[in-house]
Amino acid sequence: MVLKISAKNNLRGVIKLPGDKSISHRAVMLGAIARGKTEVKNLLEAEDLFSTISCFRKLGIKIEKTRGRWIVQGQGLKGLSEPEDILNAFNSGTTMRLILGILSAQEFYSVITGDRYLRLRPMQRVVKPLRLMGANIWGKDEGNYPPLSIKGGRLKAITYQLPLPSAQVKSCLLLAGLYAQGETKVIEKVKSRNHTEKMLNAFGAKIKVKGE
Q: Give the pLDDT score at 212.
A: 64
What global pTM score does this model have? 0.92
Q: Is residue 175 part of a domain?
A: yes
Q: Is residue 79 part of a domain?
A: yes
CATH code where residue 168 lies? 3.65.10.10
Q: Give the pLDDT score at 152.
A: 84
Tell me the DSSP string of the chain.
Answer: -------SS-------PPPPHHHHHHHHHHHHHSEEEEEEES---SHHHHHHHHHHHHTT-EEEEETTEEEEEEE-TT-----SS-EE-TT-HHHHHHHHHHHTTSSSEEEEE--TTGGGS--HHHHHHHHHTT-EEEEHHHHTEEEEEEE----B--EEE-SS--HHHHHHHHHHHTTSBS--EEE-SS----HHHHHHHHTT--------
Expressed as residue numbers, the domain containing 110 is 21-202
Each residue's pLDDT tens digit, 38-50: 999 999 999 999 9
Number of domains in the chain: 1
Each residue's pLDDT tens digit, 182-192: 999 999 999 99
